[in-house]
Structure 1
Amino acid sequence: MKKIFAYLMLILFLISAIPSFFGEKPALVLNYSEDTILIDPLLHTLEENQLTPLSVENQQYETTLIFNSKSEQREAEKVLSVAFPSAHSHFSFVSAAPQLFSQLGLTPINLGLDLRGGVQFMLQVEVDDSVKGLIEATSINVRQQVRTEGLRSRITGSDQSGFSLLITQSERNETDSINRLMEQLRPQFSEWSISENGNTLHFVLDEKVQEEQASLAMQQTLNIMRQRIESLGITEAVTQRQGRDRILIELPGVQDPQVAKRVIGATATISFHTVVDSNQAAQIHNTRDGEPVRLSRQPVLTGEYITGASASMGEFGQPEVNLVLSGVGGNKMSDFSRSNIGKPMATLYSEYHQDHNNQLVQRHEVINMATIQSQLGSRFRITGIGQLSDAQDLALILRSGSLTVPVTIIDEQVIGPSLGEENIQKGLLAVVVGLALTFVSMLVLYRKFGVIACTALIANMVMIIGLLSLIPGATLTLPGIAGLVLTMGMAVDTNVLVFERIKEEMRAGRPLASAIPRGYKEARSTIIDANLTSLITAIILFAIGYGAVKGFAITLGIGLITSMFTGLLLSQMWMTKLWGNSNDKA
């Protein structure tokens, strides 16, 4: 039973490792939101430019063109972006292994940024702005509550921990009204410490709530970033939180970092407001032509209710974004538009950018203003966006979610594909040289035992590659290759310990047939203890490290587990099979 299990495991990992030996081919993926692109015009355009894809995979709203080289891939992207401007394109890689492996869900090892080339971003997330937003929203809600009590008020002070509200006028007995107001506010805003000083109410947000709000903003930003990366078609990206307010993003294989930078760093969002007259409280923003528009302070609807968005060309050749709202958002818009037919509504576009002092400021622009002609539902469109590319970017951002806090790219590193290929070649050379030297040493020192050690080492390498291919999210990096080379030496150590114990047993007068199981039994506890201590170190490195450290820890940890499997189980099976009946003595 033990033999069947061992060989099944070896065969499984061998099959899963096969796609990695075939490698990958560069591909160009075309996404389109509504209209399907016909394959014949696509291929005809490529033929006119002397480009022939190896194969074409066509799915709903997506076409994948597979090429023989990265130069053909880049040239095809330039040609098709001009011929089919409504399609969004991005670079990718597909397995070069037979289709059977892909149907079984087996793919090559994911290569990290340093091996494949790509781009790395470090983002600064202004998590404290989420606390400011909560304070601002609470102050608006409190003032509305004050107004329902027949009181008038104004904000006299606001900081990072709370705000102060001055009751300025009352239509009834002021003391009774304030007391009744306090009774209503305390259960409604239980996370706030509310105190009274004459006509002034002080609201202080609990520090624990502030940290929870900042942490929630960080988690939301992480999720939105992952959704944006997925919308770009990048499936092997690394998105990690770094400390309290930073995010590390690695995009292997991305050869056009500007596209990724434009989408990942975008802070754009939209909101819908009623247009109010001069008698009402308002915020004033300009249209693209510089015309000021008075908008309601509270939006009718914000970008958080948008679940779908696609860009297209409208009836008059103007780009537009078609929106789909959630059930709650659709009901809100329906109720509002039904009671405001004949009144104007504006679309406000907001985005953060850095000013000349490198300070983050929010820019607002009214991109669309129209009179509500009829009741709106969960689907409608907005215009006035600019170019088609602007509409496509806005649609992509709205689909993946609008950021609730500003984000800036504080560091950017680009690793070219040629450097990645050079790293792969050097890494493979290190592995091959390491294997060759190890083989020679084992064959010279242990001869026929050395053949078993070399065979077990090859099986160990195959199992590592197979496991890396099977584990979701596992990525092979340059430090990972270093871990692979280190694992080779540690795997041989297992065989060395066993072989030396077998030699000791034979020198004590035992025949080879009985010395083999005795040697493995005596060396087993030492080998397991040594590997477990190293495995604990690898787990710690994986848990607290990131980037290069994590890549090293993954291959080291996997290598330690597989080396025990091949060194203690497979090699003993083979030696017992070959020399289990031998009466040879030292």
Structure 2
Amino acid sequence: MINHYPLWKYLILLIILFFGFLYALPNLYGEDSSIQITGLHGNILNKNTLVQIENLLQKNHVKSKSIAWKNGSVLVRFSNTSLQLQAREVITKAVGKNYIVALNLSPATPHWLSSLLAEPMKLGLDLRGGIHFLMEVDIDSSLSKLQQENLENLRSDLDDKKIPYIELSKSDLFGLKVRLLDQKSRDKVRRDVLSHYHDIVIHNSSYNVLTLKVNDERIRLAREYAIEQNINVLRNRITQLGLTDAIIQRQGNAFVVVELPGIQDTARAKEILSSMATLEFRLVNIHINVDSPLPQDSEVKYTRDGQALVVYKHVILTGDHIIHSTTSIDEYNQMQVNISLDREGGHIMSNFTKDHIGQAMATIFIEYKGSGKQDIRGHEILEKHDEIINVAYIQSQLGSSFRISGINNQKEARQLSLLLRSGAFVAPIQIVEERIIGPTMVEQNISQGLEACLWGVVVSILFMVLRYKLFGLVAALALLVNLVLIIGIMSLLPGATLTMPGIAGIVLTLVVAVDSNVLINERIKEELRNGCSIQMAIHQGYKRAFSSIIDANITTFIKVIVLYILGSGSIKGFAITTAIGIATSMLTAIIGTRSIINLIYGGKRVTKLSI
């Protein structure tokens, strides 16, 4: 029997429809003005803090909707912005600078929906407001580290091969310069040493001098690694501080865009992102006195109490290899930081400590701070500050886990642990541009976007109903269902964010859905004019329009994929919503409308179609 669907098809459609409405529902509840309190500099919140904040608000007659403790943060909700600002002033005065007290917007989704993992769509800055940072990664600093590493490796190899040299120094473009005794030594270096360096090429050569340069591919890889690792560190740090809606993405060759939707407190947001610290482990040179002339492989570093120590320039290990860190109390009731290394870091530490038992190893804390000076572009110049926080004798072979003791207090230990746990910046990074998207602009964007979407739907529905009568009404119903399914899927996808271009993508897909129904309805009318029976006209109309609809949607989908791959930011948002809309429009325009038409006309003796 034509124009008839089996029961299982209707059941599948009903299930899809049910879940689409269920996961689109949270978007109707809106958001609450809220404050998020998070520990900073090693201060960790607990449920006792929640009670203290609740009592503080009651004492100052600030009424809150709810106070909740979750994942180490306290979230306080308010019914309006006025109460939110009043509460921030009260809480900030009470807790001081040891906590992040950030203005936020939190979904007002009921608990029963949240328990089903139903949450509203993530909105971009243009629809929700918040803070936009453009951060620049200091790629030259990363390449300087590579240059220093190459210099130390080359010095070590020259010593191992017992090849005497007059000078080994850095040169321009992150290269090296080796001045040897004679031409014979130069040729031996080229043959026995440099042949093993696949990333270094000889840029220039004279009688007894070799000028070396890192090849372009290695520089490109170093640049890529610096950007990607810094993005990972930013993402880890923001996630650990509870800002799960943050958007972090690369822009250009040396820039990273960080967007914090719902956050209006620029000072606190900067504080979250500006801590740039890591560790270095170096061997102490006990054979050289501080006042003696220093060999090329050593330099002076200072402890926190001002004591000078001579350490080797060679870095045994950096914070790049730290994958986890926690704090605890040692047997002397002193704070310590427990460190876990990745596989490569554990292998390096194990091999080094095995060969240097009985020698002293220094832990150097490195932090980049603003110098108060600016470069020619007007950006603040960062200065490197380092100090020895711990010196310990290697008593046995270490592995992937060890501890750092000698830290002054609990707060400092926890702060160090947080920075190490979130990862070490491969290169210094600083904010070069910041923008705050305020509530006025957001309201304007939302009203304009909703108005555009609403008028697009209304005009499409009017056209379809006036032109195709009952078939047009069915198409209009499918259009509304299509809109709900798009919203439901956008709410489900963890990485999807709705922006103004995304709304444009939704409007475009609604137009595509209308086009599909126009094709189907015109095909049915054409079959009727050719003398087909009503049932056969419906069947042939859907069947013959199917190939045209598929071809049109596939070509559109290919364009969307190209936009997503090559585009960035708002272009990706447009591509995501358009791709989702293409899939849902094919479901609703072809299968959805067909199921309703089959229910109305299928298996019945019909003399006239309302089309």
Fold shared by both chains (TM-score > 0.5): yes
Q: Deviations over 1:167-190 (max 9, x none)?
A: 36xxxxx88877776665246534
Cα deviation for residue 455 of structure 1 reads: 0.9
Cα deviation for residue 464 of structure 1 reads: 0.6
| Contact kept? 2:177, 2:210, Cα under 8 Å | yes
1:165 is paired with a residue whose SS is strand
Equivalent in the alignment of 2:46: 36
* Candidates 265, 269, 281, aligned match of 1:256: 265
1:324 is paired with a residue whose SS is strand
Q: Deviations over 1:75-118 (max 9, x none)?
A: 43433333234444445544323223222222111111100111
Equivalent in the alignment of 1:16: 23
1:339 is paired with a residue whose SS is coil
Q: Deviations over 1:350-382 (max 9, x none)?
A: 416463434775524455667769979933456
Aligned 1:41-440 pairs, distance under 5 A: 41-59=52-70, 61-85=72-96, 86-148=98-160, 149=162, 151-156=164-169, 158-160=171-173, 162-167=175-180, 185-186=193-194, 188-193=196-201, 198-271=207-280, 274=284, 277-279=290-292, 280-281=294-295, 282-284=298-300, 296-299=312-315, 302-307=318-323, 323-327=337-341, 328=346, 339=358, 347-351=364-368, 353=370, 355-358=373-376, 363-367=383-387, 378-380=402-404, 396-440=418-462
Cα deviation for residue 292 of structure 1 reads: 7.7
The 1:270/1:74 distance shift into structure 2, 3 A limit, reads farther
Q: For residues 421 and 337 of structure 1, what CA distance do their matches in structure 2 show?
A: 64
Q: For residues 358 and 438 of structure 2, what CA distance do their matches in structure 1 show?
A: 57
Cα deviation for residue 225 of structure 1 reads: 2.2
Q: For residues 307 and 144 of structure 1, what CA distance do their matches in structure 2 show?
A: 29
Cα deviation for residue 284 of structure 1 reads: 5.0
Cα deviation for residue 415 of structure 1 reads: 0.7
Counterpart of 1:576, as a letter, is: N
The 1:52/1:374 distance shift into structure 2, 3 A limit, reads farther
Q: For residues 156 and 335 of structure 1, what CA distance do their matches in structure 2 show?
A: 30
Q: For residues 396 and 75 of structure 1, what CA distance do their matches in structure 2 show?
A: 30
* Candidates 531, 541, 544, aligned match of 2:553: 531
Q: For residues 583 and 87 of structure 2, what CA distance do their matches in structure 1 show?
A: 44
1:561 is paired with a residue whose SS is helix
The 1:426/1:360 distance shift into structure 2, 3 A limit, reads closer
Counterpart of 1:453, as a letter, is: A
| Contact kept? 2:353, 2:394, Cα under 8 Å | no
The 1:374/1:407 distance shift into structure 2, 3 A limit, reads closer
Range with greater deviation from structure 2 (176-185 or 117-126): 176-185
Q: For residues 524 and 205 of structure 2, what CA distance do their matches in structure 1 show?
A: 85
| Contact kept? 1:333, 1:378, Cα under 8 Å | no
| Contact kept? 1:229, 1:237, Cα under 8 Å | yes
| Contact kept? 2:390, 2:406, Cα under 8 Å | no
Equivalent in the alignment of 1:579: 601
TM-score by length of 2: 0.81
| Contact kept? 1:457, 1:566, Cα under 8 Å | yes
The 1:34/1:243 distance shift into structure 2, 3 A limit, reads closer
Equivalent in the alignment of 1:446: 468
Q: For residues 21 and 399 of structure 1, what CA distance do their matches in structure 2 show?
A: 38
Cα deviation for residue 582 of structure 1 reads: 4.2
Range with greater deviation from structure 2 (294-303 or 245-254): 294-303
* Candidates 9, 15, 22, aligned match of 1:2: 9
Counterpart of 1:217, as a letter, is: A
1:412 is paired with a residue whose SS is strand
| Contact kept? 2:389, 2:407, Cα under 8 Å | no
Q: Deviations over 1:444-493 (max 9, x none)?
A: 33222222122111111111111111222011111111222222222222
| Contact kept? 2:277, 2:365, Cα under 8 Å | no
Q: For residues 35 and 523 of structure 1, what CA distance do their matches in structure 2 show?
A: 61
Range with greater deviation from structure 2 (571-580 or 94-103): 94-103
Q: For residues 484 and 346 of structure 1, what CA distance do their matches in structure 2 show?
A: 55
| Contact kept? 2:183, 2:207, Cα under 8 Å | no
Cα deviation for residue 197 of structure 1 reads: 5.0
Q: Deviations over 1:380-420 (max 9, x none)?
A: 456689x97x9887664433222222323333222113322
| Contact kept? 2:358, 2:393, Cα under 8 Å | no
1:447 is paired with a residue whose SS is helix
The 1:60/1:98 distance shift into structure 2, 3 A limit, reads closer
Cα deviation for residue 299 of structure 1 reads: 4.8
Aligned 1:483-562 pairs, distance under 5 A: 483-562=505-584
Range with greater deviation from structure 2 (535-544 or 454-463): 535-544
| Contact kept? 1:444, 1:450, Cα under 8 Å | yes
Unaligned ranges ≥5, structure 1: 169-173, 313-319
Counterpart of 1:379, as a letter, is: R
Equivalent in the alignment of 1:316: none
Count residues with an aligned counterpart: 572
1:121 is paired with a residue whose SS is strand
| Contact kept? 1:111, 1:476, Cα under 8 Å | yes
Counterpart of 1:500, as a letter, is: E
| Contact kept? 2:358, 2:394, Cα under 8 Å | no
Cα deviation for residue 428 of structure 1 reads: 2.0
Range with greater deviation from structure 2 (414-423 or 551-560): 414-423
The 1:291/1:56 distance shift into structure 2, 3 A limit, reads same
* RMSD of aligned Cα (Å): 3.8
Q: For residues 11 and 152 of structure 2, what CA distance do their matches in structure 1 show?
A: 70
1:487 is paired with a residue whose SS is helix
Q: For residues 135 and 479 of structure 1, what CA distance do their matches in structure 2 show?
A: 44
Cα deviation for residue 223 of structure 1 reads: 1.5
Q: For residues 366 and 122 of structure 1, what CA distance do their matches in structure 2 show?
A: 26
Cα deviation for residue 577 of structure 1 reads: 0.9
Q: For residues 391 and 17 of structure 2, what CA distance do their matches in structure 1 show?
A: 69
Counterpart of 1:107, as a letter, is: E
| Contact kept? 2:479, 2:510, Cα under 8 Å | yes
Cα deviation for residue 119 of structure 1 reads: 1.8
Counterpart of 1:216, as a letter, is: Y
1:277 is paired with a residue whose SS is coil
Counterpart of 1:357, as a letter, is: D
The 1:271/1:514 distance shift into structure 2, 3 A limit, reads same
